[in-house]
Every structure is written in C-alpha cells, then in structure tokens.
Amino acid sequence: MTARRKFYGWGREDQTVSDEETVFLARLFGQRFGATLVPRTGPRESEFELRAPRLAVPSTLARICSSDRHDRLVHAYGKSFPDYVRMFKREIASPPDVVAYPESESDVFAVLDWAAREKAAVIPFGAGSSVCGGVECDVGDAYAGAISLDMTRMGKVVEIDRASRAARIQAGALGPDLETQLKPHGLTLRHFPQSFEFSTLGGWIATRSGGHYATLYTHIDDFVQALRVVTPAGLMQTRRLPGSGAGPQPERLFVGSEGILGVITEAWVRLQDAPKFRASASVKFADFLKGAEAVRALAQSGLNPANCRLIDADEALGTGAGDGSASLLVLAFESADHAQDAKLSRAIELVRDHGGVVDQPAKSESQHREGAAGAWRNAFLRAPFYREVLVPMGLIIDTFETAVTWDRFAAFHGEVTRRIGDVLKRVTGKPGSVTCRFTHAYPDGPAPYFTFQAMGRMSALLEQWQEIKAEANDVVVSAGGTITHHHAVGRDHRPGYVRECPPLFAEALRAAKSTVDPNGIMNPGVLIDPQGIKVGVRGAMAGV
C-alpha cells in the first residue's frame, strides 16, 4: 500500500529527510548565517486541536467524504513558507470541515449541489502544492462551512488519439501517474514542473503552471486542447481543435481560473513523442548580466533550447553546481526526430560571442546528468524536502518569480536585488542572501526566479516573512514585472494582480464568475474578491 501524504512536509510519509541530511543542513546554514542551528521535530497529528466539522455529510455522499483528522490536516494548507510556519506552530484556524474525494463527474456535481444547498464553500484541491494560498479554507464567516474537493481519485488517461497526438486525461492525474499511462504508447506530455511528483493536471491548468521547457512549450496553456469543467451553473465542454479563430477561446477563461469558476474534470492535451536525441552543455559567465545577454541572443535565435537556465554565481554555489566565481548557464536541446548537435554548436557560437566559457558538451545519456548541470538538477529535486527541517531552525527561505521584458531586465534585476537585500536586513537585523536564476526565456524577455534566505526569529517568523513578501510583491510590479509568471495568484499575489489587471477586465471576470457561480461558492478569496471577503491571516499583501 502506498504511504499516506504528509500533512507537514513534501511528499509521502515514507519520504523522510535523513538525520545526516538534517545535521548537514544545520551546519551549512549555521555557517552561512553565523548561528547555531538546532534541528527540531515536526508536528504530530495528535498535537492539533481542530474545530469540530460544521457540515453534516448527506448519506448519499458518505462514500466519498471524510472528516478524518489526517485528511483535514493534509487539506488545510498548501506548501508555501507561511503554510509550513503555521503548521509547525500547530496553528490551523480554518481547516476544511469535510474533504470530498469525487470518483466521477457526477460525484463532482453532487458535491457542488450539496454545497450550494448548505451555502458552503468548495475549494478544488489537486495535490495541494500551491505556494500562494490557493487551497486553504480561509473563507470567512459568510459560509456555513468549507469543503476541500480532492481530485486525485480521478486520475485516468481515458482516451488517446495517436494520429493527432492528443489524450483525454482526468484532472486529478498526478504527474508520474499520467506519464506512466502514456509511456506504453511512446507518448509524453513532457510538462515537468519541479512539483511534478505531487501536483495534478487540473492543478497545472488551473494555475497556468510552467514546466521544464525554457522556451516554446513553457506554460501548460500550450498543451491544452479542450476542457471539461463542472461549474455550479452546469457543465462546460470545449471543442477539440488544433487552432481556431472563432472569437475569444472558451477554454482560455478556465486556464488560470484557480478554482473560482468551477472544477476542471478533464482535459484533452497535446502530446509529444518521447525524445531520443539530446545535446547539452554548461556555460560559465563571469557576469550574470552578460549571461542574460547570451540568453537573449539564444531566445531570439529560433534555436529554442529545451533547457536554458541561467543561474547566478551565488545560487550555483549554494546548490553545489559552481564554486561561486561564475554564473552558470545550463543549456540543452532534445528531439524525438533528429540529432541536436548542430543546434548545440550554433548555440555555443552564440554564447561564446557573449563571453561564455563552455564546458565540454555532454556526449552520452549519463554525461547529461553529471557535472555542474547534474549537481544543480539533484539539488533542485531534493530541495522541496528540506523546508520541513529548515523552517523549525528559524530560517526564512522562500522564492518569488516573475517575467519582464528585456529592455527593462538589467534595471529590474538591480532594483529587486537591492530592495530585497534591504528588507532582509531591516527585518532580521542581519544581511540575508538574494539570488536569481531564469526559469524560462522568451524572445521578448526572461522569467527571473528569485530565492531569498535569512536567519529569522522563531517567535516572529510569520510576521517577518509577511514584511519581506510585501516588499517582493511591490517591487516586482512597480519595477515592471508581473506579480507571477507561473506560481499563480492565490491569496498572496492578489493585490499585485489587482494592480496589473485592467479594471474593466477585472469587472468582466467578476461578471463571468457570477454567471457560472451565482452563489459565489467556488474558492472564495482566491484570485478575485467578488464578495468583499477579507484577506486572511497570510496578510502578505500589506503595503502593496
């Protein structure tokens, strides 16, 4: 039997951080911040006092509903820094009253009907990897209760159209399950966010997630062919077409809707043949901005590398991919159809023109996973597990991501780095670190991803984070970027979204919501605020 999902931490209960890793991390971060860090045990299920469920489940839905303590804990929060802090402090003000696990579309309809009758809120839940407050049940007192609607029992690849290379897949499919079902057909969705193992197709679509491709097929949007959505007002099914010029595209309204318009139950997605040809190299740059210029040249060259991650020198050092003396560009091409060496050769010429120093290009499959790129990849995959031990040591570690046009990038990078450096010092009394990498590169601009770290005060960790996050929210928008490139809006980014969203569009979105969700039961408090519900404890938006 598969182990249960952790309610505190990343992954399943059998995926632990070893004592050796914990000691190593305490020493590493202790040295970095000149502090003695003491590992502390995470919370136990029995230590939580959850308020009694406020909803009585009708007998017809008992089969798929649970008010079990573990289920309510798993569905109480997502996986952001403040989620970890509050869970570690054993603080859950708004647990779901009921967790529903629909097994079919008619189950989803039945739960929505019940919620509408009871005036309860429904919070669609994929795998709960939201890092912006998208799945918590902090819906205010206007609702009789909150139902977390967990989609993971609807995880099948239902139909494959080999000729068009597309598949109909249920929204609750987790990344690995979906790929396992496609593999016998030689096909792949090839959408690999870092949270791939514990996030779902429906969650990706609802948040417009970004996968591993650094160019071209970056967002899940590019793979969505058609959608099936259950809304409180009825079913919406869009047509399968390779493209269409027939007015605004219906599925686009639901891609990025973050659960406020309805429940995505299925999607037809565009697939690819599994790649057989690869070519990769890592490139060093003495200066991050020089590296950025090289990435711009690559992004505008039409070569479309699958991987084109520029990592600044400090982040390369922190992940073991570099020695801190140079920024690192991880460059890779892949194809199911033809060799990629010529593309790599041309890319190498381009990066050399911008001062890049190229390591020996990888020749074999194993070489693609070794060296600086391999070290970075390993740290990238392991990092999500470390938060559960770092937070109890009092460390503030978080990330924020954005996108900005090339003409503004250099000034933007300078401004963000300066203001986050300043706020870390102001809030914690000591210097922290701010690093940057590119997750994606477009012809017209990069998607920079910032990581900040500082030694916090255990008793005030949440408040300290709130102040830093408010500064981050403000600086990315005022310096010309978007509030989020792929982490979604949720609760934490809502004020930034309000700033970048034209008022008339916001009104149109509210009107669309009142059409498909007339009683306002779908994920209240996320993305938009049609009913004036106050933003909850996260409070990250103060000052924005």
Ligand X SMILES: Cc1cc2nc3c(=O)[nH]c(=O)nc-3n(C[C@H](O)[C@H](O)[C@H](O)COP(=O)(O)OP(=O)(O)OC[C@H]3O[C@@H](n4cnc5c(N)ncnc54)[C@H](O)[C@@H]3O)c2cc1C
**Structural contact between residues 452 and 468, judged by C-beta atoms closer than 8 angstroms:** yes
Among 173, 416, 526, 533, binds ligand X (CB under 6 A): 526
The residue range among 81-89, 258-266, 475-483, 530-538 that interacts with ligand X, by the rule CB under 6 A, is 258-266
Interface residues for ligand X in 385-444 (CB under 6 A)?
Answer: none
| Integer Cα distance of 103 and 263 in angstroms | 13
| Integer Cα distance of 250 and 53 in angstroms | 37
- Of the two residues 419 and 491, which places its CB atom closer to ligand X in the complex? 491
* Contact pattern from residue 292 through residue 321 relative to ligand X, giving x for each residue in contact according to CB under 6 A and a dash for the rest: ------------------------------
- Of the two residues 413 and 440, which places its CB atom closer to ligand X in the complex? 440
**Structural contact between residues 390 and 25, judged by C-beta atoms closer than 8 angstroms:** yes
| Integer Cα distance of 540 and 177 in angstroms | 34
Interface residues for ligand X in 154-173 (CB under 6 A)?
Answer: 171
The residue range among 18-26, 161-169, 456-464, 480-488 that interacts with ligand X, by the rule CB under 6 A, is 480-488
Q: In this structure, what are the phi and psi dihedrals at residue 51, rounded to the nearest 5 degrees?
A: -65, 155
Told to check if 137 binds ligand X by CB under 6 A, we report no
| Integer Cα distance of 317 and 288 in angstroms | 14
Among 42, 126, 445, 524, binds ligand X (CB under 6 A): 126
Work out how close the CB of 178 gets to ligand X at its nearest, in angstroms, rounded to a whole number: 11
Told to check if 135 binds ligand X by CB under 6 A, we report yes
| Integer Cα distance of 347 and 352 in angstroms | 9
Q: CB count, 10 Å around CB of 162?
A: 11
- Of the two residues 209 and 482, which places its CB atom closer to ligand X in the complex? 209
| Integer Cα distance of 336 and 298 in angstroms | 21
What is the full DSSP assignment across 451-507?
EEEEE--GGGHHHHHHHHHHHHHHHHHHTT--S-SSS--TTTTHHHHHHHS-HHHHH
| Integer Cα distance of 450 and 431 in angstroms | 16
| Integer Cα distance of 282 and 329 in angstroms | 6
Told to check if 152 binds ligand X by CB under 6 A, we report no
Cα-Cα-Cα-Cα dihedral sign, residues 83, 85, 86, 88: positive
Work out how close the CB of 137 gets to ligand X at its nearest, in angstroms, rounded to a whole number: 11
- Of the two residues 129 and 466, which places its CB atom closer to ligand X in the complex? 129
Work out how close the CB of 253 gets to ligand X at its nearest, in angstroms, rounded to a whole number: 12
Interface residues for ligand X in 50-79 (CB under 6 A)?
Answer: 78-79
Told to check if 124 binds ligand X by CB under 6 A, we report yes
Stated as kind and residue range, the H or E segment containing 368 is helix 365-368
Told to check if 129 binds ligand X by CB under 6 A, we report yes
State the chain's maximal CA–CA distance in angstroms: 69
Told to check if 332 binds ligand X by CB under 6 A, we report no
Closest CA to 268 of 238, 245, 246, 295: 238
Work out how close the CB of 530 gets to ligand X at its nearest, in angstroms, rounded to a whole number: 15
Interface residues for ligand X in 194-213 (CB under 6 A)?
Answer: 194-195, 199-200, 202-204, 206-207, 209-210
The residue range among 42-50, 90-98, 245-253, 257-265 that interacts with ligand X, by the rule CB under 6 A, is 257-265
Among 131, 416, 423, 468, binds ligand X (CB under 6 A): 131
Instruction: Find residue 169's DSSP bridge partners.
Output: 157, 267
Among 7, 114, 125, 400, binds ligand X (CB under 6 A): 125
| Integer Cα distance of 475 and 480 in angstroms | 8
Q: How many residues bind ligand X (CB under 6 A)?
A: 37
Q: How does strand 277-285 pair with strand 433-442?
A: unpaired
* Contact pattern from residue 94 through residue 123 relative to ligand X, giving x for each residue in contact according to CB under 6 A and a dash for the rest: -----------------------------x
Enter the tokens of residue 422: 């300043």
**Residue type for position 379:** A
- Of the two residues 427 and 472, which places its CB atom closer to ligand X in the complex? 472
* Contact pattern from residue 264 through residue 283 relative to ligand X, giving x for each residue in contact according to CB under 6 A and a dash for the rest: x-------------------
Told to check if 151 binds ligand X by CB under 6 A, we report yes
Q: How does strand 121-125 pair with strand 146-150?
A: parallel
Among 92, 283, 434, 488, binds ligand X (CB under 6 A): 488
Work out how close the CB of 66 gets to ligand X at its nearest, in angstroms, rounded to a whole number: 17
Sheet strands (E) in 204-276? 224-231, 234-237, 263-270, 272-273
Stated as kind and residue range, the H or E segment containing 50 is none
| Binding region for ligand X (CB under 6 A) | 78-79, 123-131, 134-135, 151, 171, 193-195, 199-200, 202-204, 206-207, 209-210, 258-259, 263-264, 384, 486-488, 523, 526
